[in-house]
Amino acid sequence: MCRWLAYHGPEIRLSTLLHDPEHSLLVQSKHATQSSWVVNGDGVGIGWYTDDPDPGQYRETRAAWNDENVKSLARHTRSGLFLAHVRAVTQGIVSRTNTHPFLMGNWLFQHNGDVGGFKVMQRAIDARLADPWFGDREGQTDSESLFALALTHGLREDPVAGITGMINTILELRDEANVDDPFMMSIAATGGDSLWCARFAVGAAAPSLYWGSGLNLCNCDGSTTQLDQHARLIVSEPLDTEEFAWHEVPEQSLIRVDDEGVCVQPLEL
């Protein structure tokens, strides 16, 4: 399984989260602790927003720990809303177009998990996709198809409807195709304003997911970084060992992060 993080808050250097903490995303790329896939070396990607309405995007197929460009980019880029992802392949080959986060229009999306039986359902999923999202996919992953399906269900206008519509469609197609393999996901999506995440699974445990606000992060060099009280993080794994500072997201949950805070609620499917 992949590992990812999503940040919403005052502008910070990306390296504050990607590189500095004792269990940063770059550390998780080679030593994840809450996944059956310890190594996530099949690519690294970042998507970030600044004062331009279109987000920046960096994706590379090299392992994050072996990519000097992502380290330099993270040190010299500041943003108040960004996603980052390290990949372990479950569906689709190792390629830049299959590396998260994905970009369609001005929306970013990333996924950890697996759509079991994806090959069996792929043609039926494609038939449910509306234009332009059907043609905007660049890769072959189940993850990018989930993104296109959520956009088809109105992710941009109504993120709750987009995410729940995507999940319900997959559940419906699983039944039609008699798929028993697990469907597991933790996702993050944003259009540059609010951040929307979800944790869901059927047939297995959902991928781990946590949130934190105003954290005082322990860094790998022994120092600490106090984040602003309005800084909010959603992560596959905590970035440090301060276990009481992190809140586990319940399974089958939807998360909204905006200037008002973090709202976690049950998914109503």
* Cα 10 to Cα 23, 49, 63, 214, distances in angstroms: 22, 12, 29, 11
Is residue 104 within 8 A of residue 79, CB to CB? The reply is: no
- Chain-wide mean pLDDT for the chain? 95
CA pair distance 226, 23, nearest whole angstrom: 16
The whole-number pLDDT of residue 110 equals 98
Whether the Cβ atoms of residue 42 and residue 60 lie closer than 8 Å to each other: no
Task: Evaluate the omega torsion of the peptide bond into residue 266 and state whether it is cis, within 30 degrees of 0.
Answer: no
d(CA 233, CA 5): 7
Res 91 pLDDT > 80:
no
Residue 93 has pLDDT above 90, yes or no: no
Q: Does the pLDDT at position 244 exceed 90?
A: no
Structure confidence by residue, pLDDT tens digits, 196-214: 999 999 999 999 999 999 9
Residue 90: pLDDT band (50, 70, 90) is: confident
Beta carbons within 10 angstroms of residue 153's beta carbon: 23
Please tell me the distance from the alpha carbon of residue 128 to that of residue 7, in angstroms, as a whole number: 31
Domain spans in the chain, listed from the N-terminal domain onward = 3-114+184-266
Q: Is the peptide bond before 207 cis (omega within 30 degrees of 0)?
A: no
140 — pLDDT class (breaks 50, 70, 90): very high
11-25, 36-50, 146-160, 195-209: lowest mean pLDDT where? 36-50
Mean pLDDT (whole number) for 33-53: 90
Query: pLDDT-based confidence at 40, cuts 50/70/90?
Result: confident
The CATH T-level fold of domain 3-114+184-266 is: Glutamine Phosphoribosylpyrophosphate, subunit 1, domain 1 (3.60.20)
Residue 36 has pLDDT above 80, yes or no: no
- CA–CA distances in Å: residue 163 to residues 123, 195, 196, 200, 251: 20, 12, 9, 11, 15
Q: How confident is the model at residue 85 (pLDDT cuts 50, 70, 90)?
A: very high
What pLDDT shows up at residue 242?
A: 87
pLDDT tens across 7-33, in order? 999 999 999 999 999 999 999 999 999
* CA distances for 90 relative to 114, 143, 150, 171, angstroms: 6, 10, 20, 19
**Distance of alpha carbon 259 from alpha carbon 195, whole angstroms:** 10
Per-residue pLDDT band at 166 (split at 50, 70, 90) = very high
Tokens standing for residue 84? 């980052």
Angle formed by the axes of helices 159-177 and 118-128, nearest 10°: 130
The encoded tokens of residue 10 equal 């005052």
Q: Which residue has the tokens 């729940």?
A: 164
Per-residue pLDDT, averaged over 163-189, amounts to 98
Per-residue pLDDT at 53:
85
C-alpha to C-alpha distances, 165 to 146, 160, 246, 267, nearest whole angstrom: 10, 8, 29, 11
pLDDT over 80 (residue 70): yes
Phi, psi of 243 (to 5 degrees): -60, -30
Residues annotated catalytic, as ranges: 2
Instruction: Give the range among 84-98, 191-205, 239-253 with minimum mean pLDDT.
Output: 84-98
